[in-house]
A and B are shown apart, each in its own frame.
Chain A
Amino acid sequence: MLTPLASRQAVAPFGSRIRGILRGSSQSLGCNIFNTASYVLRNSQCKLRVKSQLLRASNQRGLVLCYCPSEATLLSDPCRPKECLEMKQNRSKLFEMSDQGNLTQRTLSRAGMIAERQRRSVVWRLIHLLGSLKLALLLLATIAIACAAATFTESRFDAAVARAWIYKAPWFIAWLGLLCVNLFAVTLSRWPWQKKHTGFIITHYGIILLLIGAVIGSRFGFEGNVTLRTDGQPQRKIITDRSCLQVESPADSYLYLLPLDTRFLHVTENSPKFLPVPGTSLRIGIDAVSEHLVPEPRLAPGNGRNSGTVVLLGFSSGMMRQSLRVALGTEEGSPHSHEFFGRADITFSAKESTPTSRDPAGKKPWLQLLPGKEPGTMLYRIGRGVTVTSSGVLKSGEELPLGWADWRLQLLEIAPGKTIVTSPKPAQEGGVPGFHACLISPDGTKGASAWVASGEVVPLTIGNDLVRLGYGLELKPIPFSIALTDFRIPRDEGTETPSDFRATVLFKNLKTGQEKEGQIRMNHPASYPGGILANITGFNYKFSQAEWNPQDLQETTLQVLYDPGWFLKWTGSLAICLGIFMMFYLRPRA
């Protein structure tokens, strides 16, 4: 049983308020704070609400109140209401309640010192405030909730949206920064450190190191990918995952890169987004975005040199709710054939030829077209394999059922001497992302507008000024070249399932011409320049297997990572694991 409470005079008349409590008479204490806390309170039948962290637990018998920056309120003590009252009144003083009253001097002096320094110094008060457990709990809770929300966002939309809204959002980064401050301040608030703090400090600094490493990695490093073919050219650039707008300024013909992602651009005709053209007073106005820009062909008057015939075809299917335009030409340089969703071959030629099929089994349907004898007509033959199922003449504007599901063919235009031009148009699905933009002069007049599809360079003009715009993923040059010399895909026995991907690459230093071979297997990346020093510092390019193309086994896509923050991340990781272990299992017993 606990000894009766005996309110004593404060040991030291500090201005701080009561903060923690603890100690059971029947326990050997000093190990776990928590197993003593509620115990004492229940046995003494006091209800004591501890509002802040316990600072110290001593191994004395009896109930000890240590003084701390926060407060504790003695709510009721059925045995000794009077003393409770006293405590309330003297809350601003340090109490020691025990039958012996011999709280260890060291405990008291440390607790007193910590309270004293907060009373005297604003800096210390700030440190204790920033390092408070309450702040830590708030940070932990919000980070957890935000992350949970982000995973649901990702499941609902996609990873990029979750990234933009939460993981890479400024407020989330700031929150993580505040967490770092909190972690640092809490280690300072324990100053001067004691032996038992080792694990605690290692863990908390480990987290800080890890986060700093992450910042360095995302600030100075980059991720990207590179697609290589065994018979292809060595690559000297990698494609990063950052999308940007490339502007060629008329002022200095320099290519400027501006970060831009159409997925997170919310513009309408009435509220366009304006971007400056560097070096000039012109602006770019973006008034629409689309995720599905599909190149749509049309026929334009030729330059006179084109003597062949071009044809513009329209395909539509009510069942698939799709329509499609295809332009073909007989002239060299224009497309002669079109693969219809990979299911059928469409060819257009000046002279009749025997039907050919790329399908070895000879079952693939095809459509063969020829310019008609009269202007505005064309001859068609529809077949499957080597058999012709129908043929005839189609006039301009006429429709024809193809016999491929409910697809119908319409001859939109057939003309000699014209050329095929394509321009991107928004569609319902497929295609590439892009935006609709025009140039705006300082006086507000607008130039001609055009769709800028990802991967293309589009010239925009206003007056005499010409600005070329390109939109797409940023290319990053690397100080060496990489070529694929061999790529193999071993399979699981008796199946077509890959069991590994083995690529052999050749790195070549662009300055010295030195070559180095690298092996990339699943889970075993190659690195350049490699070696222990480069690996430790992270000034190293790592190439790992990312994607393969089942249709083309000579091609592979490698993921590229350059991460100078890697050493800090690894050190931090190790420190966290070690620190937690020390905290839990190597703590010196009081």
Chain B
Amino acid sequence: MTNRTLPSLLPLLLWVILLPSAWASVPPAALETMVVQEGGRRKPYLVFAEETLRSLSGKTRLTQDGGRMDAMGIITSIWMDPSADWKGRELILVSNRPLKQQLGLETGRKLFSWNELAGNAELGREIAEAAETRRRDPRAKLVGLQKEASDVGLRMGLLESLLAGGSFRVIPPLSGTDWQAPSGDEMPLRALRDAWSENSRQRFDRTAEEFTGLVTQTGASPASWKISLEVAYQKAHPFRWAWILYAAAGILLLVSRGSWEKCAYQLAWVLAGSGFLLQAAGLLSRVLIAGRPPVTNMYESVIWVAFGTILFALIFEAIYRAGTFLLGAIPVAVASLILADSQPMILDRSIHPLTPVLRDNFWLTTHVLSITLSYAAFALALGVAHVILGRIIAGKDPSERLYTYLYKTLQVGVLLLAAGTILGGVWANYSWGRFWDWDPKETWALIALIGYLFLLHGRLSGMWGGFGLAVGSVLAFMGVLMAWYGVNFVLGAGLHSYGFGTGGFPLVAAFVSLEVLFVAVAFLRKR
């Protein structure tokens, strides 16, 4: 911070000295918009609380003292009253079953208390081993139980740091960029804790609000519209509403018959369209909050692919008015969005700063958006193929038009995937040097592309017809799945390591087996 900001800090200091002054009316939840610096970013307290509780317990709501408490409640309680028996409460997530068996913990439970875990010698040994592995090679990737144990260790450490108060970095610095956490006898914490212990909600909220106002005056916090937007985004769950609308549109399309069909189709358009707008608004919020394109981790890519699938479906619907595209796209989009909504531990929804290599790059943006849009087009092709194969299984003959639709969708995907893969090479060539290095991510993008090229060329040569194209669209999507999910979560090798994660393998394996089964049934019915 420069000298210019010093004068603006004065009112803050004055406020700290002169508090408590006049009482005034209080807007509710004044704490929500207080700015906290965490994870390389300044964010509203509400977001901080939800993200923190999610990394601690895997949820944003917990049952405590017989009642449901939200993240704001729990995290604020910890901050205000760290001397309470937090270490004795079941707050820390241990989800991995083999780890629980290894540690001798009840496999039915998910949440454990700090005391329980700290008293577990086996866990201590696993964590020490993980630390040893890390020390020997700081770049080593922890695997299996070691990784799970180390995650549990991190959660325990998180609770400790919350109890020590060090996580609540709400005081802007006089110089530099490191925000400070107030100690127990510093403002605003002292005033907040006083109000808390007196159980005076009014005074608590006012203190929070006044403090937030002063921090805003220093100019150290992000623009207030950004903070309000992020709070609104965090509360609104736009992607949840989007899938509900999509699902409604899908059910409408599925059940409408006869004279209702046209009316239902129009209503489905309206529903899907509003869901789409809602999702676009959600994505736009993320872009505005983070100041970067919306596809930087697995969570964002899943949301983006759902978005792209509906986008292409709506474009095709606008051209052909067939209903097939929406019918094909909706299950894909709904499944993706539900997955993103329900698996916060696998798909991390928090907004993090980007690794340097992903910043500030036009080519990167184009490359990633193009690749993920191609995934969306292939996902739509998968949906349309399901409509076709579903008709075949149901004993109906799919019309020739359906095959044309499938082909058109595949064309979009092939163009975007080819362009995206090549742009990736161009980007790599520009920013790192080499054009193509057989990195697993790029190799699998190539394999997926070859899969679809094989499909189209085989059709061209007459080796298979429309039915083969439908079957191929389902099978070739497995290549996309491998490039998209498998490289980061199964192979876990290569340079695209910023997207690595774990978990979700049983889910994906189940999906793949179901698809193979579906294709097999279609084959049998066809014969």
Listed in ascending order, the chain A residues whose CB lies under 8 Å from chain B are: 20, 27, 32-35, 37-39, 50-54, 133-134, 136-137, 140-141, 143-144, 147-148, 150-152, 154-155, 159, 162-163, 167, 210, 213-214, 217, 223, 491-495, 497-501, 522-525, 542, 544, 546, 559-561, 563, 566, 569-570, 573, 576-577, 580-581, 584
Binds A, one of B270-278, B386-394, B433-441: B433-441
Q: How far is the CA of A134 from the CA of B462 in the complex (A)?
A: 10
Q: How far is the CB of B172 from chain A (nearest CB, A)?
A: 11
Question: What does DSSP make chain B's interface, helix, strand, loop or mixed?
Answer: helix
Known: A154-B440, A544-B432, A570-B429. 16 other contacts (CB 8 A): A34-B469, A35-B466, A38-B465, A137-B457, A140-B454, A147-B444, A147-B446, A148-B444, A214-B436, A498-B356, A523-B359, A559-B433, A561-B433, A566-B429, A570-B426, A577-B419
Q: Which residue of chain A has its CB nearest to the CB of B39?
A: A495
B241 contacts partner chain A, Cβ-Cβ < 8 Å = no
Instruction: Kindly supply a per-residue 1/0 record for chain B positions 476-519, scoring 1 wherever the CB is within 8 Å of any chain A CB and 0 otherwise.
Output: 00010010000100111110000000000000000000000000
Q: Which residues of A contact B419 (CB under 8 A)?
A: 577, 580
Q: Which residues of A contact B450 (CB under 8 A)?
A: 140, 143-144, 147
Q: Which residues of A contact B37 (CB under 8 A)?
A: 493-494
Q: How far is the CB of A231 from chain B (nearest CB, A)?
A: 24
Q: Which residues of A contact B423 (CB under 8 A)?
A: 573
- A523 and B431 in contact, given A33-B460, A499-B359 (Cβ under 8 angstroms): yes
Contact indicator B447/A53 (Cβ below 8 Å): no
- A34 and B415 in contact, given A140-B454, A499-B359, A563-B435 (Cβ under 8 angstroms): no
Contact partner of A493 (CB less than 8 A), chosen from B177, B434, B453, B492, is B177
**Which B residues from 30 to 44 make CB contacts under 8 A with A?**
37-42
Contact partner of B433 (CB less than 8 A), chosen from A141, A223, A497, is A223
Binds A, one of B67-75, B279-287, B403-411: B403-411
Question: What does DSSP make chain A's interface, helix, strand, loop or mixed?
Answer: helix
Q: How far is the CB of A277 from chain B (nearest CB, A)?
A: 35
Q: Which residues of A contact B429 (CB under 8 A)?
A: 563, 566, 569-570
Q: How far is the CB of A564 from chain B (nearest CB, A)?
A: 12
Contact indicator A569/B425 (Cβ below 8 Å): yes
Most buried by B among A20, A34, A576, A581: A34
Contact partner of B418 (CB less than 8 A), chosen from A143, A214, A492, A580, is A580
Q: How far is the CB of B142 from chain A (nearest CB, A)?
A: 16
Closest 3 CB pairs of A and B: A492-B40, A561-B433, A50-B462
Contact indicator B400/A140 (Cβ below 8 Å): no
Total number of B residues with any Cβ neighbor in A under 8 Å: 67
Q: Which residues of B contact A34 (CB under 8 A)?
A: 403, 407, 459-460, 465-466, 469
A-B contact pairs, 19 of them (CB 8 A): A20-B462, A33-B460, A34-B460, A35-B400, A37-B462, A38-B467, A54-B460, A136-B457, A147-B443, A147-B446, A150-B443, A151-B493, A162-B438, A493-B37, A494-B169, A544-B432, A569-B425, A569-B435, A580-B418
Contact indicator A492/B353 (Cβ below 8 Å): yes
Contact partner of B431 (CB less than 8 A), chosen from A35, A52, A214, A525, is A525
Contact indicator A151/B411 (Cβ below 8 Å): no
Contact indicator B451/A144 (Cβ below 8 Å): yes
Q: How far is the CA of A54 from the CA of B447 in the complex (A)?
A: 26
Contact indicator A499/B356 (Cβ below 8 Å): yes
Q: Which residues of B contact A136 (CB under 8 A)?
A: 457
Contact indicator A497/B40 (Cβ below 8 Å): yes
B178 contacts partner chain A, Cβ-Cβ < 8 Å = yes
Q: How far is the CB of B91 from chain A (nearest CB, A)?
A: 25
Contact indicator B353/A497 (Cβ below 8 Å): yes
Q: How far is the CA of A495 from the CA of B491 in the complex (A)?
A: 30
Q: How far is the CB of A215 from chain B (nearest CB, A)?
A: 12
Q: Which residues of B contact A569 (CB under 8 A)?
A: 425, 429, 435
Most buried by A among B38, B411, B465: B465
Q: How far is the CA of A561 from the CA of B433 in the complex (A)?
A: 5
Contact indicator B359/A35 (Cβ below 8 Å): no
- A159 and B434 in contact, given A34-B407, A147-B447, A584-B415 (Cβ under 8 angstroms): no
- A154 and B494 in contact, given A494-B177, A542-B433 (Cβ under 8 angstroms): yes
Q: How far is the CB of A210 from chain B (nearest CB, A)?
A: 8
Listed in ascending order, the chain B residues whose CB lies under 8 Å from chain A are: 37-42, 169, 177-179, 353, 356-357, 359-361, 364, 400, 403-404, 407, 411, 414-415, 418-419, 422-423, 425-426, 429-436, 438, 440, 443-444, 446-447, 450-451, 453-454, 457-463, 465-467, 469, 479, 482, 487, 490-494
Contact indicator A523/B360 (Cβ below 8 Å): yes
Q: How far is the CA of A522 from the CA of B440 in the complex (A)?
A: 22
Contact partner of B461 (CB less than 8 A), chosen from A133, A151, A522, A560, is A133
- A573 and B425 in contact, given A151-B491, A493-B177, A501-B356 (Cβ under 8 angstroms): yes
Q: Which residue of chain B has its CB nearest to the CB of A50?
A: B462
Q: Which residues of A contact B479 (CB under 8 A)?
A: 144
Q: Which residues of B contact A213 (CB under 8 A)?
A: 435
Most buried by B among A163, A214, A495: A495
Q: How far is the CB of A23 from chain B (nearest CB, A)?
A: 13
Q: How far is the CA of A39 from the CA of B403 in the complex (A)?
A: 10
Contact partner of B440 (CB less than 8 A), chosen from A151, A491, A498, is A151
Contact indicator B435/A217 (Cβ below 8 Å): yes
Contact indicator B462/A137 (Cβ below 8 Å): no
Contact indicator A137/B454 (Cβ below 8 Å): yes
Q: How far is the CA of A152 from the CA of B487 in the complex (A)?
A: 10
Contact partner of A35 (CB less than 8 A), chosen from B404, B426, B492, is B404
Q: Which residues of A contact B415 (CB under 8 A)?
A: 577, 580-581, 584
- A522 and B39 in contact, given A137-B463, A140-B453, A544-B431 (Cβ under 8 angstroms): no
Contact indicator B462/A151 (Cβ below 8 Å): no
Q: Which residues of B contact A566 (CB under 8 A)?
A: 429, 435
Contact indicator B462/A523 (Cβ below 8 Å): no
Q: Which residues of B contact A491 (CB under 8 A)?
A: 177
Q: How far is the CA of A50 from the CA of B356 in the complex (A)?
A: 54
Contact partner of B454 (CB less than 8 A), chosen from A52, A141, A214, is A141
Q: How far is the CA of A162 from the CA of B432 in the complex (A)?
A: 21
Q: Which residue of chain A has its CB nearest to the CB of B411?
A: A584
